[in-house]
């Protein structure tokens, strides 16, 4: 993969035991009877199983997920930015900016949402907002029920690195954040040449929250409701033009924030390219600028992006890519990850 003239062939299989296993399993349309190759990790096994399931069965209605278009164009941090006054990611004329709120208990900022969990939370929030048409979202009667709802296991890991404590920490970071979508461009023609136009939407992720955590008894039902109320502008942003996704793919890719980002991007890009009927070349440099600000070495980003795209194509067979010098081409034969037509929007509940 180090040869810039011959990027990895994403549409090919058989380059490793992992992809040979995929090819054999897809031929039989059933799990192989032979013992699985030792080279397969649990994560690879999950991707392999999901690949077979996606090809065999259409998703159930509850397996339909969504992501806000703006959060596909610019994504959340991959790693912790620390105690900085704000965090921003830019994609062309569009910038996503996040500000963390002050924590009166610690005297510091609450912190910025980062990694896979806030992405899974955003998928869940967008999906629930689209499904219910309500700003107020119920988190379930128990903490563990909520963890399962976003696609994680309350019994994974232990201590501070377990899914339970991390979901609690990242939920607080995300729910207390303020996000801005900023569009800025400079006119290059006409009498207004040189003028700068800026459009900005400033949003609180939530306007109200009521959360009860009981780490000692996470499966115990509480006498109080657990809910969040999305900020009005944030609710509008989530539901204005959501990108439809397959929950099964999200669950298979859930441990990699880059894979989740590229999967949502792929579904949006595939739909756009299919509508135009023309292939689209995407340079690695452009993808790195959009998703790889946390990677100091461009080659490191490309290597991880290639690996993520191979896994994405495994669980998203409708994505058709072709290698090209310095990047990858999204082919017009691609199709959406999931078929969905928006119905009439419900009025938001207050």
Instruction: Note the pLDDT tens digit of each residue in 79-136.
Output: 999 999 999 999 989 999 999 999 988 999 999 999 999 999 999 999 999 999 999 9
Q: Where are the domains of the chain?
A: 1-60+252-350, 69-241
CB environment 109-140: b (16+ within 10 A), e (fewer): bbbbbbbbbbbbbbbbbbbbbbeebbbbbebe
pLDDT at 4: 40
Structure token pair of residue 176 = 């207390």
Biggest CA pair distance of the chain:
72
C-alpha to C-alpha distance for 253 and 304, rounded to whole angstroms = 13
Closest CA to 222 of 165, 154, 142, 149: 142
Q: What percent of the chain has pLDDT over 90?
A: 58
Which of these ranges, 43-47, 75-79, 306-310, has the smallest mean pLDDT? Answer: 43-47
Strand partners, 329: 281, 322
Q: Average pLDDT for residues 227-255, to the nearest whole number?
A: 95
Q: Say which residues have a Cβ less than 8 Å from residue 54's Cβ, sequence separation at least 6.
A: 246, 248, 249, 315, 316, 317
Alpha-carbon 145 to chain mean position: 21
pTM of the model as a whole: 0.83
Determine contact, residues 218/143, Cβ cutoff 8 Å.
yes
In angstroms, what CA-CA distances link 190 with 51, 193, 196? 52, 5, 13
Q: Average pLDDT for residues 269-290, to the nearest whole number?
A: 92
């Amino acid at each position: 993969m180090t040869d810039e003239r011959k990027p990895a062939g994403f549409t090919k299989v058989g380059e490793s035991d992992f992809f040979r296993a995929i090819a054999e399993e897809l031929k039989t349309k059933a799990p192989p009877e032979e013992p699985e190759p030792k080279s397969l990790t649990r994560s690879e096994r999950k991707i392999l199983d999901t690949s077979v399931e996606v090809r065999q069965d259409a998703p159930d209605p509850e397996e339909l997920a969504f992501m806000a278009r703006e959060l596909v164009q610019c994504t959340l941090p991959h790693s912790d930015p620390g105690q900085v006054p704000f965090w921003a990611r830019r994609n062309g004329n569009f910038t996503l900016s996040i500000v963390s709120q002050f924590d009166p208990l610690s005297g510091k900022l609450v912190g910025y949402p980062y990694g896979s969990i806030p992405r899974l939370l955003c998928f869940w929030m967008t999906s629930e907002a689209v499904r219910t048409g309500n700003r107020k979202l119920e988190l379930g009667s128990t903490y563990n029920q909520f963890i399962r709802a976003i696609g994680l296991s309350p019994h994974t890991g232990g201590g501070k690195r377990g899914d339970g404590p991390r979901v609690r920490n990242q939920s607080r970071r995300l729910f207390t954040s303020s996000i801005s979508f900023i569009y800025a461009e400079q006119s290059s023609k006409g009498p207004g040449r040189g003028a700068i136009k800026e459009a900005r939407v400033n949003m609180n992720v939530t306007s109200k929250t009521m959360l009860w955590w009981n780490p000692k008894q996470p499966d115990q039902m509480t006498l109080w409701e657990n809910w969040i109320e999305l900020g009005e502008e944030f609710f509008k942003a989530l539901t204005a033009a959501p990108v439809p996704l397959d929950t099964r793919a999200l669950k298979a890719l859930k441990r990699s924030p880059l894979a989740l980002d590229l999967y949502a991007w792929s579904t949006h890009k595939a739909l756009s390219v299919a509508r135009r009927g023309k292939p689209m070349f995407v340079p690695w440099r452009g993808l790195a600028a959009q998703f790889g600000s946390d990677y100091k070495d461009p080659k490191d980003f490309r290597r991880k992006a290639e690996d993520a795209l191979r896994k994405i194509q495994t669980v998203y067979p409708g994505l058709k890519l072709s290698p090209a010098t310095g990047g990858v081409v999204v082919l017009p034969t691609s199709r959406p990850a999931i078929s969905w037509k928006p119905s009439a929007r419900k009025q938001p509940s207050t």
